[in-house]
Structure 1
Amino acid sequence: MTTLTTPPPAVTPTGTPAGNADEAGKHARRFGLPVATALVMGNIIGGGIFLLPASVAPFGTISLVAFGVLTLGAIALALVFGRLAERHPRTGGPYVYAREAFGDFAGFLAAWSYWITTWVSNAALAVAAVGYLDVLIPVHGSVAATITAALVLQWLPALANLAGTRYVGAVQLVATVLKFAPLLLVAVGGLFFFDPSNLGPFQASDQGPLGAVSASAAILLFSYLGVESAAVSAGEVRDPRRNVGRATVLGTLGAAFIYLLGTLAVFGTVAHDELVGSTAPFSDAVNAMFGGSWGGTAVACAALVSMVGALNGWTLLSAQTPYAAAKDGLFPAVFATKRRGVPTAGVLVTAVLASLLTVYNYTVGSEGVFELLVLVTTFTATVPYLLSTAAQIYFLASGRSARVDRRRLVRDAVLAALAFGFSMWLVAGSGYAAVYQGVLFLFAGVLVYAWIAARKARAGTAA
């Protein structure tokens, strides 16, 4: 068993870290259950939902089976994060759990890989959002206008974060409501226009049933990235021992409901042959349901709101994990400063790095470098998941923690095993190229850890 060099901070009776008490103010407000749930749902559902039905249509309706299997895995992972947050209700989520179980190095790897995921993903979200913005306000004619639009879409959520957690929560709640209104319109309204003849074959590909499920799952696997959102921000959630787990499960179930029902509704309103070649399946569904050609504009608005909401939530998460690691001396000290409840340095550094990557994409990225980096994030995002589920298995198997509930030991062990298997499936679904490049990113982090650990050791010797 690895000995920790820094004890966990004291917590208040509600589970809030006592050291955070001085961060409260009129601009800093802890998230209640509704906002924490909106954070999870908003981060899971970005813009991918608007293309998913067309992406899996070539496999037939068997892809819904893959969706169901993935949903069970995601819920198991969500429950594990809820149990871990009960045990360690601190900002940082996977970083905290990995460090508590396996020591500084494992904690750093979780923080490093998660941080890479967040700022590269923010750049990808901004680039994708410009595509939807172009439907409303044509900007593609000028590279300068496109870059400006992408940067504005990145920095508006960053400014909301810098204004304080009070505003982050407000933006997230409003964006979640606005994004789910049109999605629910298609998901629920589509049932009234459902035509079974549009579904096409159950298995449309030449692969066997298992191969078709696996192939469609590879596309859908990353639809649930973000289930950890409430756990990462546990220090900003009121009564985290209770609310983080609830928000994680409720948010994951809400996203699953939208995914499954929305995909089924599109399958039933758009003819299969048309859906396979569609570039805007939700637009086609709206047009089929209500007539006219306004579906593209409506879906573009919904997608843009969805992207901005996801950028708002992911910007907060991008600062939270480095903040927790910096408090323990495992990231540069500048990341450990908070104002108005938000780690300002983390937000600024993330926004700058994502902006630079965005500019690079539009000026030099024609060789596919940007696409490769985005693919790498699908691997780096799963590293904290694996470490977190392994930490839960360690806590349960070792009996080290007095907080292990013996009455729920078997259930928690089964959930942890399922979540670990789900995380391994995510890694496998990343593809060989992503895993290869992702491991190089992790090894680059090893050098950073060596430098930080050396400085920490020298400081300890001098003291």
Structure 2
Amino acid sequence: MHVTGTAPPPAPAPSESLAAPVGDPQGPNGSRHARRFGLPVATALVMGNIIGGGIFLLPASIAPYGTVSLVAFGVLTVGAIALALTFGRLAARDPRTGGPYVYARGAFGDFAGFLAAWSYWITTWVSNAALAVAAVGYLDVLIPVSGHRWTACLAALVIQWLPALANFAGTRYVGAVQLVSTVLKFVPLLLVAIGGLFFFDPSRLGPFNSSGHGAIGAVSASAALLLFSYLGVESAAVSAGEVRNARRNVGRATVIGTAGAALVYLLGTLSVFGTVPHHRLVDSTAPFSDAVNAMFGGSWGGWAVALAALVSMIGCLNGWTLLSAQTPYAAARDGLFPAAFTRRRRGVPTVGVAVTVVLASLLTAYNYLSGSGRVFEVLVLVTTFTATVPYLLATAAQLFHLVSGRAGSVDRGRLVRDAVVASAAAAFSIWLMAGAGYAAVYQGALFLFAGVLVYAVMAARRERAAEPAAERRSA
């Protein structure tokens, strides 16, 4: 059965000029540094942002729960794929820079769009600080830097500013760094993920459930540690204005990148579980190093994996730095963020990059100077909550289009499939919020309410700016 009649035209969407004109190979400013991303780079952006440095620690983090944690991996993967498919459908309908912000604003108006942009922006710069601090631990294996907190702080700041400089150079260089770093980090990851299967010993897996809780409780508990691992599925959608043939390639890059990252996660974790004895894995601080040493002998695994982790994190920071500027850029074009965020150079919103890296640097310095890791850990957990706010708003926008008949499809079967996928993505987003924990939800809510004040100021300024124009029209 098909829906008869013509679908209603889509609502006017914000920032019509965000993306470069279709067919312009050099981006909106005509610079050769602002070339648009093709499918390979867009896919690398998604995979590179999902797979940061966390994968090098994940097997040891979830080992105390036993192999039941692999079930949690599977559930999370299904939810992440559902979210990726939803972003693909939304990008096909509205292929402009901004991702969840554009989708939420187009469906629900300015306030919902602002909340999506605000919460996503918080996620990006706090995550950047977290990645930089974590990268210092791997750098210390290669070059001792953690002997003094000032040295470690300086190293973390350098690690943040190098990707920022690549962004200032233009999207051409962002794409190049992203592609190279993604390829390089997959060499050791695939070595363990695939090579480890040849050394796999089931006797090393340990118990199925060693958490002391029921199976469902163990899945939920281990999933809480894995939630942060899938942040980044929206990467191609957020940068849709810089992707060639975005209506087609954003969806493909999102699904391929998410599925590829999930495959590496699952195979890598399974291989480590099967090569490192469970009692050793529980206490391991470098599980991939231990796996390589168990596979080939020697002690060179720690150095090799540390180098791979460092490359991985710098590549991840490179992509997240670009994404951290794209959302406020889109919001600023609509008057919801300060106008300074609209400034671009060589295809990159430079003010957004600068403000983001400064905020992340201040947070990094605070982390080292305070001498307390607990504050920073809570802020990292907050990113899980703040990221799911735009996820949930985006999936709600998709459900809104489907139920209202504005999805643009006349195929009833397709509508039902899209509704099921969007519902699964919404449930996944809510689960992410719950998994972040009470403290993170509390802190995240405070961040959101602070954003309400910013929105009030920006809305008042827009109202004042509109009054003279209205008076001139009435005169």
TM over 0.5: yes
In the alignment, what sits opposite 2:240?
234
Mapped to 1, the partners of 2:204 and 2:362 lie a distance apart of 44
Given that 2:27 and 2:34 are in contact with CA atoms closer than 8 Å, whether structure 1 keeps it comes out as no
Distance 1:385 1:124, change over 3 A: same
Q: Please state if 1:126 is matched with 2:132.
A: yes
Structure 1 stretches of 4+ with a deviation exceeding 6 A read 3-6
Mapped to 1, the partners of 2:23 and 2:300 lie a distance apart of 50
Opposite residue 435 of structure 1, the aligned amino acid is V
CA deviations on 1:292-312 (whole Å, 9 max, x unpaired) are: 111111110010001000000
> 2:16 aligned to 5, 9, 32, which one?
9
Opposite residue 306 of structure 2, the aligned amino acid is A
> 2:141 aligned to 116, 129, 135, which one?
135
Given that 2:196 and 2:295 are in contact with CA atoms closer than 8 Å, whether structure 1 keeps it comes out as yes
In the alignment, what sits opposite 2:302?
296
Given that 1:16 and 1:90 are in contact with CA atoms closer than 8 Å, whether structure 2 keeps it comes out as no
Mapped to 2, the partners of 1:175 and 1:416 lie a distance apart of 32
Opposite residue 129 of structure 2, the aligned amino acid is A
Mapping of 1:420-459 within 5 angstroms? 420-459=426-465
Mapped to 2, the partners of 1:250 and 1:413 lie a distance apart of 21
Opposite residue 449 of structure 1, the aligned amino acid is Y
Aligned residues: 461
SS at match of 2:210: coil
SS at match of 2:345: coil
* TM-score (norm. length: structure 2): 0.94
CA deviations on 1:396-419 (whole Å, 9 max, x unpaired) are: 001134467544100000000000
Opposite residue 165 of structure 1, the aligned amino acid is T
CA deviations on 1:249-290 (whole Å, 9 max, x unpaired) are: 000011001000000000110001111111111010000001
Opposite residue 218 of structure 1, the aligned amino acid is A
Mapped to 2, the partners of 1:63 and 1:427 lie a distance apart of 19
CA deviations on 1:106-142 (whole Å, 9 max, x unpaired) are: 0000000000110111111100001110110001122
Given that 1:4 and 1:103 are in contact with CA atoms closer than 8 Å, whether structure 2 keeps it comes out as no
SS at match of 1:27: helix
Q: Please state if 1:66 is matched with 2:69.
A: no
> 1:209 aligned to 209, 215, 225, which one?
215
The offset of 1:15, in angstroms, is 8.0
CA deviations on 1:8-28 (whole Å, 9 max, x unpaired) are: 51699x98499x953231111
Given that 2:97 and 2:330 are in contact with CA atoms closer than 8 Å, whether structure 1 keeps it comes out as yes
Which residues of structure 2 form unaligned runs of 5+? 1-9, 470-475
Mapping of 1:409-428 within 5 angstroms? 409-428=415-434
Mapped to 2, the partners of 1:225 and 1:10 lie a distance apart of 28
Mapping of 1:156-235 within 5 angstroms? 156-235=162-241
In the alignment, what sits opposite 2:359?
353
Distance 1:4 1:33, change over 3 A: closer
Instruction: Decide which moves more: 55-64 or 417-426.
Output: 55-64
Distance 1:11 1:324, change over 3 A: closer
Mapped to 2, the partners of 1:62 and 1:72 lie a distance apart of 16
Distance 1:7 1:278, change over 3 A: closer
Q: Please state if 1:460 is matched with 2:469.
A: no
In the alignment, what sits opposite 2:252?
246
Given that 1:17 and 1:90 are in contact with CA atoms closer than 8 Å, whether structure 2 keeps it comes out as no
Which residues of structure 1 form unaligned runs of 5+? none
Opposite residue 330 of structure 1, the aligned amino acid is L
SS at match of 1:418: helix
Q: Please state if 1:42 is matched with 2:48.
A: yes
In the alignment, what sits opposite 1:55?
61
Given that 1:395 and 1:404 are in contact with CA atoms closer than 8 Å, whether structure 2 keeps it comes out as no
The offset of 1:210, in angstroms, is 1.1
SS at match of 2:244: coil
Distance 1:406 1:324, change over 3 A: farther
In the alignment, what sits opposite 2:7?
none
> 1:82 aligned to 88, 93, 105, which one?
88
Opposite residue 117 of structure 2, the aligned amino acid is A
Mapped to 1, the partners of 2:442 and 2:388 lie a distance apart of 14
The offset of 1:374, in angstroms, is 1.7
Mapped to 1, the partners of 2:149 and 2:222 lie a distance apart of 35
> 2:385 aligned to 361, 379, 387, which one?
379
**RMSD value, Cα:** 2.0
Instruction: Decide which moves more: 276-285 or 313-322.
Output: 276-285
Q: Please state if 1:280 is matched with 2:282.
A: no
In the alignment, what sits opposite 2:332?
326
Mapped to 2, the partners of 1:15 and 1:200 lie a distance apart of 56
Distance 1:404 1:458, change over 3 A: farther
Given that 1:11 and 1:17 are in contact with CA atoms closer than 8 Å, whether structure 2 keeps it comes out as no
Mapped to 2, the partners of 1:325 and 1:73 lie a distance apart of 28
Distance 1:329 1:272, change over 3 A: same
In the alignment, what sits opposite 2:276?
270
Opposite residue 376 of structure 1, the aligned amino acid is V
* TM-score (norm. length: structure 1): 0.96
Given that 1:61 and 1:199 are in contact with CA atoms closer than 8 Å, whether structure 2 keeps it comes out as yes
Q: Percent identity?
A: 77
